[in-house]
Amino acid sequence: MREYNTHSNLISLYRHVCWLDIQALKPGNTSIHSDASTPGVQEFLDSAQASAPPLVCPGLTLGERILQAVQATRQAVDTNTNLGIILLTAPLIQAWQGRAGRKLEAALQETLHHSTVQDARDVYQAIRLAQPGGLGQAESQDISEEPTVTLLSAMELSASKDRVALQYSSNFHDIFHFGRPHYRSLLMRWRDECWAACGLYLAFLARFPDSLIGRKCGMLKAREISDMITPFEKEFCRSDSPVRYKTQLLEIDDCLKRDRINPGTTADLTVASIFAEGLEML
């Protein structure tokens, strides 16, 4: 009964955080506050529903967990909705299930360092299946080829241009040492998950130029967006009433979507941070 409850709680947590992701007003990204996004809200909800069981399934390797979650997603929706979320939450789940009384961050380090070449092959297959935008080509271990290094080593090769890959090479430093404490602080102040998620999203975007924007539009544009959002984020996160800024947030959202600029990596980091915080509560 205890194992069943743990399994059910993991699924519930994952789906709740994915639900929160589309409830929060995240300028430029999919949410219930705008119908201008493609894919839309229902596709993200369907993706969370489909990908949860393989993601939390006990006994899978890290690569299997990621590949099966992406396969389940593609069966549910015919587009890439959650590759970044899967890539970030799967190692956290793997580490949490094998933590054996250790802190999650320590267990994660072992999980990542014990990744294998087969994990990398499974993840490469998952990425090819998801077909994310703006990947380009790499001089070594390109996604179109079969990898010959471990998953961690492959991610280290991509870390300079992709902030999801950087989490692997830094033991999720952004998640544990910025995302989680910042979200916790905003949640304590506002007592509202959706506004805390919005504030964390803005904080990530202000501090770290979005690597999806960088791949699609160039790093100059990514830095320009971060510079643009920084003064607003500072004022917003100091406020005692975030709802007062809803109109401005919607204006920024409309502007970014009109220019087809989506800080997708920022959204993935936000989801992973809230999920990591939730794991500590289970």
Q: What is the pLDDT of residues 54-83, one digit of tens each?
A: 999 999 999 999 999 999 999 999 889 999
Contacts of 126 (CB under 8 A, 6+ apart): 66, 67, 69, 70, 71, 83, 86
Domain ranges across the chain = 2-171, 177-271
Contacts of 281 (CB under 8 A, 6+ apart): none
Place of tokens 């793997």: 94
How does pLDDT run across 239-253, given as a tens digit for each residue? Answer: 999 999 999 999 999
Residue 4: per-residue pLDDT: 40
Token pair of 180 as six digits: 């989680």
Cα gap 93→104, rounded to integer Å: 9
Q: pLDDT tier at 34 (50, 70, 90 boundaries)?
A: confident
Q: pLDDT tier at 139 (50, 70, 90 boundaries)?
A: low
List, in sequence order, the alpha helices (H) in the chain. Answer: 2-23, 41-56, 62-76, 83-97, 104-113, 117-130, 151-158, 163-169, 173-174, 180-190, 193-207, 211-217, 219-238, 246-258, 264-279
Token pair of 96 as six digits: 């949490």
How does pLDDT run across 106-120, given as a tens digit for each residue? Answer: 999 999 999 999 999
Cα gap 14→9, rounded to integer Å: 9
